[in-house]
Chain A
Amino acid sequence: MRVRITRRGGATQVSWLLSAVVTMGCLAAAMALSGGRSKAYTAYSLAVHKTASIPAFARKYGLRCSACHTVWPELNAFGQKFKDNGYQLGNDRDSPIWQNNAYWPIAMRTTPQVHLESTTNQVTDSSPGGKTLIQAGFDLSGIDFLLLGTLYKNITFGLVPTLDPDGTAGVEAAFVRFDNLGNSPWANLKVGKFELDNLLSEKRITWLSANGGFLYAYHYLPVGSTNNFGFGDNQIGAEFSGHSSNSYTRYTASLLSTDDGEPGLPGGKSVDAMFTLSQAWALGGGLGPQRVGVFGYLGHRPTTMETVGGGNPIPGTGSANKSFLRLGATAQLWLGNLELLPLFAHASDDAALGPGTDKPTWNSGLLEAHYVATPQLLFQARYELLRMSKQGDPAIPKTQGNADAFALGFRAYPFMFSRDGMAIHGEFAMTKTIGTVPLSGDGSGVDPVTPGTSVWSRSVMLGFDFAF
């Protein structure tokens, strides 16, 4: 076998595929030998709280997980329609009055796991010039308490308290939704904190590792940015949505607070706006219809705040709002049991939200592939890239912040019925970021010594993902 090695900027680069195979083997061996000597305390920071695979619905309606999920937690067309209908099947038995008194709409999910994180060029006290850090051991994800259901026919609620692995509590989602206004599926109103209507949902993502459990397209911000927005973060506001009777046509229009889902009005007095639109067609013989969609987000962030006590900002008094924009297109395509999920996105921030005088812009694209061998076995892969097209400060190298992310994994479900679910989850993911820390939070959390230095961060994970 020939190994292609090139030299660029002093760093050795191996082709992605070969690197993936070799690294997975080496890290698996390292994990076995390391015995969990250190803990990746920052890893998994973005990967916790994948909120939506809800056995409470399976118990309520007596349906297997596979009815609503291609493999859980990813929704299939039937599950999407069920969600769009306010978690109702529409059988005149959706109101809780028809449920046994003992039924309580709650489910929980967590993932005990063992994982290894390896990150290159990390600045530490003993190695100010940078070294490779390896962090490994047994670990836990956060715990999600999934309380979702109906308060009454066509009145839906969602409440998702969470516990981080260190015990910190949070509220991932809390909303009420009025469904089928005027007996029309085209009019639904949701108010509270909820996931944006992302066709490629990060909350139902089938990736869990520190480097694989999020999308750069949904979380990346340029070097020096003061913006805090993330598409993958649940937001607070109101969403008006609608769908056709089979949910093949869907739209949402939302007004959202300018604080990235943080309660307490810490942001400004403006509102963000988002829209999504998607259309599916029943083409081919795949597991689902072929869907394409577009999305856009116009947000604002304050650049000045009223202060008190010598400069402490007063929450909710932000002004001099400056805008940012996210636009994109995505699809869900089926070729038999093979699902392809491409996504392209363009992003820009106002110059005032960054370190320089220019408006930073960047683009990202990804292709995710799922092979659903059976409802109980999934093989998956993803490649994502992000490229800065313009930095806010001309002094920043154009490539700083660029990222490539690759992931490979499987999920095997030993059983599947309508009470609970468990997946044996294996995953290898790696990212290369230039001049910045990886978004996984792995490593020392300090930018590399030079802005042109590549940081490779790799995750190997074996977990037991269960919900009941």
Chain B
Amino acid sequence: MRPCTRWMAVASGWGVLLCATGATAARAQESHIGAVTGHAAAGKPLYTRYCAGCHGDDGDARGENAQWIDPKPRDFTLAVFKCRSTPTGSLPTDQDLFDAMTRGFVTTNMPPWLPLTDQTRADLVAYIKTFSPKWKTAKAGTPISIPAEPAPTIQSILHGRELFQKMECWKCHGPTGHGDGPSAATLTDNKDLPIHPYDFSSGSRFMCGVTNRDLYKIFMTGLDGTPMPSFADDIKPADGWDLVHFLRTLQPLSTPEAAIWRAWLASHANELKPIGPPGSGQ
């Protein structure tokens, strides 16, 4: 190969590499929420205004408020997110981050940022994605498919209760969903910080939404960075809905599931076996 040809080849290789890197970086600098495109450059001052106090200027969860907050704020440099529509271990979609920001996280210091305009939230999502190199090297996961929800019945609720026992949900969430299972006190998150399982009896919302669909998604995607695993490989979609219907009965809310459950309990309470360690229950 002649010297000039070799130089051209080397230059072309670098060019392709730089273009590819640039294109990926550009993707990471933007977010796409429906018809709204967010830009990281615009998101930076907004992040300083709204987010940095807890999440830190560098997105490392070391803002001045972080030391006083429990649970601790998300560390964006790790790119590990609880609330996703994507399979466990994958990056969330822009829409997932946008929804989480809009919804906030119940029982934490993360408020619902719904009053901010869509553009503002989209810009913030774009900027949050600049904190971790993962966004430059990997794409967001593909959202899981969620089958249509069957109507709640006492059979689905009872089956969900069996799954709650069988899948050992009670070990963390407690036999009655109070978040006081035998393992609850030992749980830690991905930064080895203590973490509390969700208490169904006090929360009006779930960590990642309010609907049955949101709860189903939590089972099937898991809450990455927490001990809550994905059950996508362990239970069938129909089982997931049964579990949803049962968990709804643990909440202090007037849900259709709770009404069905109360009506059934009125005449069948003595038929129930207690939930708990093997040998003590069903």
Contact = CB atoms under 8 A, between A and B. Distances in A.
A288 to B, nearest CB: 7
B106 A92 contact: yes
B53 A63 contact: yes
B66 to A, nearest CB: 9
Q: How large is the interface on A (under 10, 10 to 19, 20 to 34, 35 or more residues)?
A: 20 to 34
B238 interface: no
A104 to B, nearest CB: 16
Contact of B64 (A67, A288, A417): A417
Contacts of B116: 77-78
Interface string A86-114: 00011111000000000000000000000
Please give me the 10 A-B residue pairs with the lowest Cβ-Cβ distance, nearest first.
A282-B117, A62-B65, A64-B53, A77-B115, A81-B115, A89-B111, A66-B49, A246-B114, A78-B115, A246-B115
Contacts of A304: none
A182 to B, nearest CB: 13
Contacts of B49: 64, 66-67, 375
21 contacts: A61-B109, A61-B111, A62-B54, A62-B69, A63-B53, A63-B109, A64-B50, A67-B53, A78-B115, A89-B111, A91-B107, A91-B109, A91-B110, A245-B114, A246-B115, A247-B115, A248-B115, A289-B115, A375-B45, A375-B48, A418-B65
A289 B108 CA distance: 26
A62 B119 contact: no
B202 interface: yes
Given A92-B203, A93-B107, A285-B42, A63 B117 contact: no
Interface in B92-115: 104-115
B177 to A, nearest CB: 15
Contact of B111 (A90, A282, A375): A90
B117 A62 contact: no
With most chain A CB atoms within 10 A of its CB, the pick from B64, B110, B116, B119 is B116
Interface majority SS (helix, strand, loop, mixed), chain B: loop
A81 B118 contact: no
Interface in A273-319: 282, 284-285, 287-289
Interface bin, chain B: 20 to 34
| Dominant SS among interface residues on chain A | loop
A90 B112 contact: yes
Contacts of B65: 62-64, 417-418
Contacts of A288: 117
B42 A80 contact: no
Contacts of A62: 53-54, 65, 68-69, 109
A64 B65 CA distance: 9
B62 interface: no
A375 B48 CA distance: 9
Interface in A156-204: none
Contacts of B205: 92
Given A64-B53, A67-B53, A418-B65, A285 B119 contact: yes
B214 to A, nearest CB: 16
Nearest to A248: B115
A374 interface: yes
A59 to B, nearest CB: 9
B183 interface: no
A63 B69 CA distance: 11
A185 to B, nearest CB: 11
Interface in B215-268: none
B106 A91 contact: yes
A443 B42 CA distance: 48
